[in-house]
Structure 1
Amino acid sequence: MWIDEQPRTRWVDPATFRFRRPDLRLGTREHRPDRAGLVAGDRIAVRHTVRTSTATYTLLLNAPVWVGRRGTGEALRDAVAELRAIDLTYGPNRPESLVSRLRRGEIGPDSYPPLADLVDRCAAMRAVTDGWFDAWAVPGGFDPGGLLGGWAVERAAARLRAAGIHDYAVLTGADLTVRGHAAHGGPWRVAVHHPTDRRRTPLVLEMTAGAIGTSGVTGRQGHVVDPHTGDPADQLVAATVVGPDLATADAYATALYAAGAVGLGWFRPGSEYRALLAARR
């Protein structure tokens, strides 16, 4: 089931991409070499990939020339440092992370402001998804993994904006957040491929601000559980949600993957978040 219409996102006829290739693809493997310091007109285009212990991130920057190559490099290093720091500091699989210490009762959720924000976001998503996203319904206690990657991406993106870079895309797996314009000067053109049927024409979006969160396309079985039963979720093969913030979109996608079609009721007309894909098994 493909579900259309998203505020602040323009849907594009895929046939137009015979002449204009997508800038980004989700749901398919696409290998392109890293590029750094490419100056085109009044922009500096940079592409960089970083791997942490749990994820691979790709950052595409379209920086204004006034920031300079040095400033662009510093902004990139700052964003990468944020991604690595979150992996080290909040990773639930790291015994000494703040999340692990919280689970053992050694610290409280308000001990560190970012940790409090992470906990508050998980609690909010549990409420709006009728408990289908529940970071506490896992063995061992609190595990924010369903939105941690998106939270990390948004914090890294905030570092880019603080450095004066407002045209960028940050991707991890089948998730992304974008802002501003691509190197060609237009909106970011994103092709979203069906997770199982490669013959299906991809959905194509033009985006200047927003995020796409996906659950279920990694190939791992049982990575999302039904928080009400503890059993692996098995209704969908993938769920994709579009909205302004990746942490929230990612959490919605995780909840929708677990809930199945009943979760479509969360996305009411006028909502900032919309279900883009709910592919049944």
Structure 2
Amino acid sequence: MLHRVEHVMGFPVSLRVDDEHVGEESADAVFAWLREVDARFSPFKADSEVSRLGRGELTEAEASTDLRTVLDLCEHYRVATGGAFDVRLPGRGLDPCAVVKGWSVQRAADLLLAAGAKRFVLNAGGDVIAAGGPWRVGVRHPEHADKLCTVLSLTDGAVATSARYERGDHIIDGRTGLPATGLLSLTVVASSLTEADSVATAAFAMGAEGVDWAASLPGCEVFAVDGERRVLRTPGFPAAKEQSTAA
């Protein structure tokens, strides 16, 4: 079994691969890609491509294909949420991190699949891509760090959670310019982390109405805790089974 943990993009990333034929070089490729993404797309690095674009030092037409892909995804979710999700908030500059994280970690998982990995878990700051399960994945309680609010079973797919507990009121409703309200946490299960992470953040930005919006998307299952501490979940949200392996 291959197991590695590194701190990349501001959060811990852990990789577990249970395929004997997949070696350290695959893990090297995963973490090298994530470090490259951090250097190129972080709005907190003055020389990154995102920062240069945000300052107007290059145009979108001059941006890399990868960055244009990310910006297209950002625009898709801006339109889909009626402006609640917006990576170009006034006074804040360009910040596509909400899409970059899921997109880049999904790309890392694709590298593992291309190397022949069939059973693995890639956990990026609590957002998870799994293959060859079932794996048991816990979702942190939005108010108690030492408790879980649910445990799900993930076989081949991804799960992402947006909440206030790590960075406070960091998700802004682009329609008002104020911190999003109405939800304590929202978890999305989807076939890819690109979708799960983007939808979770976009839905959280919408507030309470974001639960129904996320649930209406094909292939998305949702678990949410609203501001009144009520639990909302879609019928297909995958409940954990005892025989699942802990991720």
Same fold by TM-score, threshold 0.5 exceeded?
A: yes
Higher relative contact order (CA 8 A, sep 6+): 1
Q: What per-residue deviation string (whole Å, max 9, x for no partner) do you get for residues 204-242 of structure 1?
A: 322221111111154322211121121122322222111
Residue number among 69, 72, 84 corresponding to 2:35 in the alignment = 84
Which runs of structure 2 are paired with 1:176-191 in the superposition (5 Å)? 176-181=128-133, 187-191=134-138
The change in CA–CA distance for 1:209 and 1:229 in structure 2 (over 3 A counts) is same
The change in CA–CA distance for 1:106 and 1:266 in structure 2 (over 3 A counts) is same
1:58 has 2:23 as partner: no
The change in CA–CA distance for 1:278 and 1:271 in structure 2 (over 3 A counts) is farther
TM-score (norm 1): 0.74
The change in CA–CA distance for 1:270 and 1:126 in structure 2 (over 3 A counts) is closer
1:118 deviates by 0.7
The whole-number CA distance in structure 1 between the counterparts of 2:147 and 2:8 is: 33
Equivalent position of 1:145 in the other structure = 97
Residue 235 of structure 1 aligns with an amino acid whose one-letter code is G
Residue 156 of structure 2 aligns with an amino acid whose one-letter code is A
Moved more, 107-116 or 96-105: 107-116
The whole-number CA distance in structure 2 between the counterparts of 1:226 and 1:270 is: 20
CA RMSD of aligned residues (A): 2.2
Q: What per-residue deviation string (whole Å, max 9, x for no partner) do you get for residues 48-97 of structure 1?
A: 1111252221111112x3x2xxx511000000101111011111111111
Paired residues of 1:260 and 1:278 also in contact (CA < 8 A): no
The whole-number CA distance in structure 2 between the counterparts of 1:180 and 1:128 is: 32
Paired residues of 1:138 and 1:227 also in contact (CA < 8 A): no
1:268 deviates by 4.6
The whole-number CA distance in structure 2 between the counterparts of 1:153 and 1:179 is: 14
The change in CA–CA distance for 1:114 and 1:210 in structure 2 (over 3 A counts) is same
Q: Percent identity?
A: 33
1:104 deviates by 1.6
The whole-number CA distance in structure 1 between the counterparts of 2:57 and 2:51 is: 9
The whole-number CA distance in structure 2 between the counterparts of 1:255 and 1:82 is: 25
Q: What per-residue deviation string (whole Å, max 9, x for no partner) do you get for residues 235-264 of structure 1?
A: 222221111121222122222222221112
Paired residues of 1:261 and 1:278 also in contact (CA < 8 A): no
Equivalent position of 1:103 in the other structure = 54
1:194 has 2:146 as partner: no
The whole-number CA distance in structure 1 between the counterparts of 2:116 and 2:143 is: 39
The whole-number CA distance in structure 1 between the counterparts of 2:3 and 2:164 is: 24
The change in CA–CA distance for 1:274 and 1:128 in structure 2 (over 3 A counts) is farther
Residue number among 160, 163, 176 corresponding to 1:229 in the alignment = 176
Paired residues of 2:142 and 2:165 also in contact (CA < 8 A): no
Q: What per-residue deviation string (whole Å, max 9, x for no partner) do you get for residues 106-165 of structure 1?
A: 223243111111111111111222222111225343210112211221111111112111
SS at match of 1:267: helix
Equivalent position of 2:245 in the other structure = none
Paired residues of 2:136 and 2:154 also in contact (CA < 8 A): yes
Which runs of structure 2 are paired with 1:109-124 in the superposition (5 Å)? 109-110=60-61, 111-124=63-76
Name structure 2 gaps, 5 residues minimum: 229-247
1:214 has 2:161 as partner: yes
Paired residues of 2:172 and 2:179 also in contact (CA < 8 A): yes
SS at match of 1:171: strand
The whole-number CA distance in structure 2 between the counterparts of 1:267 and 1:225 is: 17
1:190 deviates by 1.8
Larger radius of gyration: 1
TM-score (norm 2): 0.83
Equivalent position of 1:49 in the other structure = 5
Equivalent position of 2:117 in the other structure = 165
Count of matched residue positions in the alignment of Structure 1 and Structure 2: 227
